[in-house]
Amino acid sequence: MNILDKIAEVKRAEVEAMKSIVPERSLKVEAFSVLRSVLSMSGALRRHTPGVIAEHKRRSPSKGEIAPMSDVAAVAASYALNGAAAMSVLTDTPYFGGSATDLALARRTVPTLPILRKEFIVDEYQIYESRIMGADAVLLIAAILDSAKLERFNYIAHSLGLETLIEVHTLEEISMVPEGADMVGINNRDLTSFSTDISNCTRLIEALPEGAVKVAESGIRNVEDVARLRDVGFDGFLIGEALMSKTDPGEALRAMTGI
């Protein structure tokens, strides 16, 4: 079993445990009752140059501890101050050290910044959770979902007013992207091994569907990487480790974007 399979297995168990505490029907009613207006992340990426989705991440399976004691509210405020178009918040606890509380704190801290819930979504239950937490967009990873689930989850997210970022790593996964996806992200990291090759983005960009906002993910480490990927057609750049490994992630963001 590879790393991604292990994470997905743990996630399914987590979801089943949560369903025993809060039934899906009750959660769904609550999600559709949320009154907060959703912010458009795809629109923010188009408006900003460059459109960086700055990520809060404490650790990862490949790098171990990155910023274990980081204050998500402080990081969110610094990202907003230093030019982020949007923010990504890891909510997985076992492998990334995040939580739903992190996203809720970020939401309160930066009410005008679109927030992506970075999670391994394997069940529609998690999409209802995302709306309640205060997310504006959800990540749907093609590597752990089949075409039918991608289409279904994309539909549910849109019915809640949420946008979707469909993450792909291969040409085969690009063929699974549902019609109407708001953003499509090419991940340079192979989630089965967590090895990274930034050239994966440039190899696959021409295959992405027209109309969707194009996002480059993982392995982006400096302003030159951002400029090169922008030149080949990417609208957005999801950057985490290169920011969170610095003493001041917001200052690192400003340096990376050349603002």
Catalytic residue ranges: 55, 57, 118, 167, 187, 217-218
Residue 181, phi then psi, degrees to nearest 5: -60, 135
Tokens of 191: 């989630």
The one-letter code for the residue type at 241 is E
The residue among 56, 40, 43, 39 whose CA lies nearest residue 253 is 56
Identify whether the C-beta of residue 122 lies closer than 8 Å to the C-beta of residue 11: yes
SS3 content of the chain, % helix, strand, coil (to 5): 45, 20, 35
Q: Give the dihedral sign, CA 128/107/58/20.
A: negative
What is the residue whose two structure tokens read 């075409």?
147
Identify whether the C-beta of residue 228 lies closer than 8 Å to the C-beta of residue 241: no
Identify whether the C-beta of residue 258 lies closer than 8 Å to the C-beta of residue 108: no
Identify whether the C-beta of residue 190 lies closer than 8 Å to the C-beta of residue 169: yes
Task: Respond yes or no on whether the N-terminal peptide bond of residue 50 is cis (omega within 30° of 0).
Answer: yes
C-alpha R_g of the chain: 17
Instruction: Please report, for residues 3, 37, 112, 243, the alpha-carbon distance to residue 107 in angstroms, rounded to integers and kept in the order given.
Output: 30, 12, 8, 19
